Amino acid sequence: MSTTAQRRASLDRPGRGWIDHNWRTPHYLALAVIALLQTLVRADVPLGQDAYWEARYGLDVIRTGSLPRADTYSWTAHGAPWIPSSWAWNVVLGSGYDAMGYLGLWVLAAAVSVLSALAIAAVARRAGARPWPTLAVYAPIGMLGLESVPRAQTLSNVAAVLVAVLAGQVMTRCGRRAVVGWLLVLCAVQIAWMNLHSMALLGPVLAAAAGLAVLAGRRTADRRAVGRLVVITATTAASCLATPYGVEPITHAAAVRAASVGLVTEWVPAGFGSVSQFLTLIAVAAGVVLCVRAWRGQRFVLAACLLVLAVATASAIRFLPMLAVAATPEVALAVGALRVREGFMRFCVAAVAVVLAALGATGWRDLAALDPLVSPGLVRAIPGGCRLLNDDLAGDAVVLARPDVRVSLDGRNDMYGRARVEKVLDEFANRPGTMEQLDRQHVGCVLGPSSMALVQALRSQPGWRVAGQDTLRTLLVLSEPS
């Protein structure tokens, strides 16, 4: 087979095997090093973006042996029905924290980053991409798509591509044993994904799209192929029910969207309303272009995956990292087709690695401690048992670091609901009647951004005193709690 023909090899055409293009151990090691460096650079990203309360949930499951179904961390929604979007991943985080403290969370982040990079490399290799173009593409895309923080969504970004690829294998394999084997692997991945993150509800859509793409690419639809498509769609859909919470994660996903749209940036659609929306719109257009390129190259499964994720990204920015990961193999193929010497690509990869190492060293912090962005000193200074009014980022840290303090808000906006979130925001804005509300709610502590109107007002409010402040927040305590 000529080099040109090999580059056009499909992810979903039988008989192609795992195309090599001279992938060797040093290439995978280089990917792992870049992934570790990206984790180091991203160490300035606040873990308070869910990881803290997720670890607390995991600890509770480990210590009690049961799955919580109601809130116990807040006073604003105490006892409200609630299930997490990623219960199994939360248990993994809880185990890491239980073993190594805050450092354990970053160890998990590094492990997930490396494993995700290697998985994407395997898909790129299967698509026919060569090692150094893949490395050159992964270095920048990995910072966006493979979020080097311990979030379940990082796993979802890779799992989406794997589900589509596995569905393609089921559609194209010959022999009952091979088909059943790949189908079992597909179901296992879908079940694992569903328990790790409820974004796995996208799995059946991706599997069905991959199967349809294979049928359309073949331009024939015999009864056996259609039957495989039906089985793939049905089994991946049924796999979404294989969780300890049953059907609840499915209904919960709708609640998450309803509570997040308009309040959380990652839930806004692509468009022209802001810079992030416009950049996402450009990414969606690029995804469609890559989809067309993949289809013309007879990489039907990859084309289907890109199309589904481009549509999803157009509906919400949060799918952009997933689209970036899915685009990596196709972009690597495009870069590999350029008349660029491999030595130059090696130089570029090495230069990126040096830059990442320099950035990581410059922004180095103690990974065994709370993030500076969550005001760790103020979190420690909160009086025990105090009813706290707080912003969501600080609330995440309080949930894990101070289990003796109940928060007003944290990252679980789906559990709090839009009304509760907006009420806390109104209180921090010091809307008329806020002081009376604080008194009726028996709030004894306030921890929030120093620029907020309520924080400024309480500085001069009789009975309130400043218990501490840093460059971001101020902690105020009621001298004589009501």
Q: CB-side exposure of 298: number of CA atoms within 13 Å?
A: 14
Confidence at residue 4, expressed as pLDDT on a 0 to 100 scale:
43
Residue 174's domain comprises: 7-362
Percent of all residues in the chain with a pLDDT value above 90, rounded to a whole number: 67
Q: Residue 315: inside a domain, yes or no?
A: yes
Using the predicted structure, report yes or no on whether residue 167 has a pLDDT greater than 50: yes
Q: For residues 146 and 240, state if they share a domain.
A: yes
Q: For residues 267 and 143, state if they share a domain.
A: yes
Which tokens in the block code for residue 10?
């499909």
Give CA separation, 225 vs 179, 216, 222, 230, 426, in Å.
Answer: 11, 11, 5, 9, 57
Per-residue pLDDT tens over the stretch 352-398 = 899 989 988 887 788 888 888 899 999 999 999 999 999 999 999 99
Q: For residues 347 and 400, state if they share a domain.
A: no
Other C-beta atoms closer than 10 Å to the C-beta of 246 total: 11
Q: For residues 342 and 396, state if they share a domain.
A: no
- Residue 211 near residue 171 (C-beta atoms within 8 A): yes
Q: How many helices (H) and strands (E) does the chain have?
A: 20, 4
319-335 mean pLDDT: 93
Which tokens in the block code for residue 345?
């690509």
Domain total of the chain: 2
Question: Averaging pLDDT over each range in 113-127, 255-269, 432-446, which range is the top one?
Answer: 432-446
76-86 mean pLDDT: 92
Label residue 18 by pLDDT band (50, 70, 90). very low
Looking at 309, 328, 362, the residue that finishes a domain is: 362
Q: Residue 2: inside a domain, yes or no?
A: no
User: pTM surpassing 0.85?
Assistant: yes
Query: Side chain identity at 112, as an amino acid letter?
Result: V
106-133 mean pLDDT: 91
Cα(30)–Cα(18) distance, rounded to whole angstroms? Answer: 20
Which tokens in the block code for residue 122?
């395997």
Confidence at residue 77, expressed as pLDDT on a 0 to 100 scale:
95
Q: For residues 350 and 433, state if they share a domain.
A: no
Label residue 2 by pLDDT band (50, 70, 90). very low
The end-to-end CA distance of the chain, in Å, is 81
Per-residue pLDDT tens over the stretch 58-67 = 999 999 999 9
Confidence at residue 142, expressed as pLDDT on a 0 to 100 scale:
75
Sequence-distant (6+) residues with CB within 8 A of 235 are 183, 186, 187, 190
Q: For residues 269 and 385, state if they share a domain.
A: no
Q: Residue 34: inside a domain, yes or no?
A: yes
Q: For residues 168 and 101, state if they share a domain.
A: yes
Sequence-distant (6+) residues with CB within 8 A of 284 are 270, 310, 313, 314, 323
Confidence at residue 10, expressed as pLDDT on a 0 to 100 scale:
41
Q: Residue 168: inside a domain, yes or no?
A: yes
Cα(143)–Cα(145) distance, rounded to whole angstroms? Answer: 6
Q: Closest by alpha carbon to 103, among 368, 366, 364?
A: 368
Label residue 459 by pLDDT band (50, 70, 90). very high
Looking at 362, 388, 422, the residue that finishes a domain is: 362
**CA 436 to chain CA mean position, Å:** 40
Per-residue pLDDT tens over the stretch 331-350 = 999 999 998 888 899 998 99
Confidence at residue 9, expressed as pLDDT on a 0 to 100 scale:
41
Of 126-135, 138-147, 300-309, least confident by mean pLDDT is 138-147
- Residue 129 near residue 136 (C-beta atoms within 8 A): no
Q: For residues 201 and 245, state if they share a domain.
A: yes
Which phi and psi angles does 223 have, rounded to 5°? -60, -40
Q: For residues 240 and 289, state if they share a domain.
A: yes
Confidence at residue 12, expressed as pLDDT on a 0 to 100 scale:
45
Average pLDDT, the chain: 89
Confidence at residue 233, expressed as pLDDT on a 0 to 100 scale:
97
Using the predicted structure, report yes or no on whether residue 143 has a pLDDT greater than 90: no
Q: For residues 357 and 379, state if they share a domain.
A: no
109-115 mean pLDDT: 89
Using the predicted structure, report yes or no on whether residue 133 has a pLDDT greater than 70: yes
Confidence at residue 257, expressed as pLDDT on a 0 to 100 scale:
77
- Residue 173 near residue 14 (C-beta atoms within 8 A): yes
48-56 mean pLDDT: 85
Looking at 304, 337, 362, the residue that finishes a domain is: 362
- SS3 call for 391: coil
Of 5-19, 155-169, 246-260, 334-348, least confident by mean pLDDT is 5-19
Label residue 47 by pLDDT band (50, 70, 90). low
Q: Return the H-helix or E-strand segment holding 156.
A: helix 152-172
- SS3 call for 74: strand
- SS3 call for 219: coil
446-474 mean pLDDT: 96
